[in-house]
A = this chain, B = another copy of it.
Amino acid sequence: MLPKPLSPLDQLFLLLERRNQPMHVGGLQLLRPPADAPADFLARQVEKLREATAALPPFNLRLNRRFGNWFWVEDEAFDLEAHFRHLALPAPGRIRELLALVSQLHSAPLDRAKPLWELYVISGIEDGRFAIYAKIHHALVDGIAATRILRKSMSEDRSAELTPPWTLQRRNREREPGADLAIVGLARLIEGARTQAATIPVVTRELYRSIREARENPDFVSAFQAPRSILNQRITGSRRFAAQSYSLPRIRALLKPLHATVNDIVLAMCASALRRYLMDLEALPQKPLIAMVPLSLRRDDSDEGNQIAMILANLGTHLANPLDRLETIRGSVQDAKRRYSRLGGAAMLNYVAAVMAPAGLNIATGLAPRWQSFNVIISNVPGPKRPLYWSGASLEGMYPVSVITDGLALNITLTSYVDRLEFGIIACRRTLPRIQRLLDYLEQGLVELEEAAGELQPQPQPEAPAVKKSRRSRSQGA
């Protein structure tokens, strides 16, 4: 293979990477062995993975720096031993121990001398399940593609054998917008220029121009309204990961009584959880928190297309009443959707770039935030609609483990899987204490809305029609 230069976006991820800010994404999957599995089921699967010693691109590519630029070259010394490990949880093997281990594994930067990924099979969970934690550098593959690769290594067919993810042929390396559009927007601005520190003035000039133009746009009022908060501090390299599943039918049952979308309910749950969490710490800002939310604008069921935009959602965290918060969220989301529907592709990109500018600039320069355009990223990544299997073991949960950066110490990423929403929360462990509380507070946020809906409409609809009705929104979270 000839050395292949990294795209400006990929180079940006290397440039942004620091000891306190490793730029890899991850995923945690929980699996249950088949009921009739022999005692050595997992050992055999691990053996099969160990025997797949040949990796295909991008899993066999390592970084090489030549003439001041980064290239991908094939790693002639590729050794699966350095990328794949079988570990077990210390007793008692609760989910708590699993999340602690994943937190530590996700904290460690990948070794740039080798292909930038690792995959761990983790056994010893007390209930007999096992887990897979995978991490891959953002410069090698984006989060959505990483999820897709892991998903393709599984099957809807219970009897299919697993395919080691690193032996999968990739469709193409085209990036799909979504969770990463924020940084894609920034990267496009600097495309064509070298993504070295020297180009920061160019980026800055471009960004300022976008912001000035944007400020003359009356629809642009929300971009710099985010309050300062403890979510927006510098971070350390230590991570805490928390994950939990929430019932989609429960959420769907609220859509009609509350005139809301799944996405509105998700944001309301997050708003309630963040409000409680920050109140515990006596750190709730007087002004409402602003979330950046990648949102699908698609109205059909097609799988392709780039109709995804970034919106800034007002979480209404200053409001005590859950219905008031939901109303604020719904209003800001609907405003944003209307605005987007009037914008063409290029205009939308400019808008996204402008909204993103301060955050992007902070990321690129490492300066402390001067403006805070948003406080937290909440991403809803479409996931598999049908149950998946891995050599007969059933996938019971899949939780995204995302990236945080200086100024954005918390990230909430969720994905849909069959009839659940799977939340993965990642934060700087030193900056934000006890983020696992957010899991309970998300549940409380859902219960609040259920109670409110119950008061509005004492006879809730049966679940089945709600499920059917909202099928379209199911995979888009909108």
Interface string of A66-92 (1 = CB under 8 A from B): 000000000001010110011111110
Return A260 CB to nearest CB of chain B, in Å. Answer: 40
Which residues 91-108 in A have Cβ within 8 Å of B in the complex?
91, 93, 101, 104, 107-108
B237 touches A90 (CB 8 A): no
B43 touches A77 (CB 8 A): no
Q: Which residues of B contact A77 (CB under 8 A)?
A: 19-20, 236-237
B88 touches A89 (CB 8 A): yes
User: Number of residues in A with C-beta < 8 Å to the partner?
Assistant: 33
A123: Cβ under 8 A from any B Cβ:
yes
Residue of A43, A88, A121, A430 with most partner-chain B CB within 10 A: A88
Interface string of A18-46 (1 = CB under 8 A from B): 01100000000000000000000011001
Tell me the complex Cα distance, A101–B46, Å. 14
A285: Cβ under 8 A from any B Cβ:
no
Return A128 CB to nearest CB of chain B, in Å. Answer: 11
A238 touches B108 (CB 8 A): no
Tell me the complex Cα distance, A212–B320, Å. 87
The stretch of A109-117, A224-232, A271-279, A409-417 in contact with B is A109-117
A369: Cβ under 8 A from any B Cβ:
no
Q: Which residue of B lies closest to A100 (CB)?
A: B86
B19 touches A79 (CB 8 A): no
Q: Name the contact of A43 in the complex, choosing from B90, B107, B238 (C-beta under 8 A).
A: B90
Q: Which residue of B lies closest to A124 (CB)?
A: B88
With A88-B91, A90-B88, A90-B124 already in contact, the answer to whether A82 and B43 are too (CB < 8 A) is no
A238 touches B82 (CB 8 A): yes
Q: Which residues of B contact A86 (CB under 8 A)?
A: 90
Return A169 CB to nearest CB of chain B, in Å. Answer: 26
With A88-B88, A90-B43, A111-B109 already in contact, the answer to whether A104 and B81 are too (CB < 8 A) is yes
Tell me the complex Cα distance, A109–B89, Å. 23
Q: Name the contact of A108 in the complex, choosing from B82, B107, B123 (C-beta under 8 A).
A: B82
Return A443 CB to nearest CB of chain B, in Å. Answer: 27
A79 touches B236 (CB 8 A): yes
A429: Cβ under 8 A from any B Cβ:
yes
A238 touches B124 (CB 8 A): no
Q: Which residues of B contact A109 (CB under 8 A)?
A: 111, 113
B20 touches A91 (CB 8 A): no
Q: Which residues of B contact A111 (CB under 8 A)?
A: 108-109, 111
Tell me the complex Cα distance, A104–B77, Å. 16
Return A385 CB to nearest CB of chain B, in Å. Answer: 32
Return A116 CB to nearest CB of chain B, in Å. Answer: 14
Interface string of A100-144 (1 = CB under 8 A from B): 010010011101011000000101100000000000000000000
Return A435 CB to nearest CB of chain B, in Å. Answer: 15
B79 touches A124 (CB 8 A): no
Interface string of A450-476 (1 = CB under 8 A from B): 000000000000000000000000000
A19 touches B113 (CB 8 A): yes
Tell me the complex Cα distance, A465–B46, Å. 51
Q: Which residues of B contact A87 (CB under 8 A)?
A: 87-88, 90, 101
Return A264 CB to nearest CB of chain B, in Å. Answer: 37
Q: Which residues of B contact A81 (CB under 8 A)?
A: 104, 107, 238, 429
Interface string of A234-253 (1 = CB under 8 A from B): 00111000000000000000
Q: Which residues of B contact A108 (CB under 8 A)?
A: 82, 111
A124 touches B236 (CB 8 A): no
Q: Which residues of B contact A236 (CB under 8 A)?
A: 77, 79
Return A287 CB to nearest CB of chain B, in Å. Answer: 31
With A77-B20, A87-B87, A88-B91 already in contact, the answer to whether A82 and B46 are too (CB < 8 A) is no
Known: A20-B77, A81-B104, A91-B124. 14 other contacts (CB 8 A): A19-B77, A43-B90, A77-B236, A79-B238, A81-B238, A81-B429, A82-B237, A82-B238, A87-B87, A90-B123, A90-B124, A91-B123, A108-B111, A111-B111
Interchain residue pairs with CB less than 8 A apart (5)? A43-B91, A77-B236, A86-B90, A88-B90, A91-B123
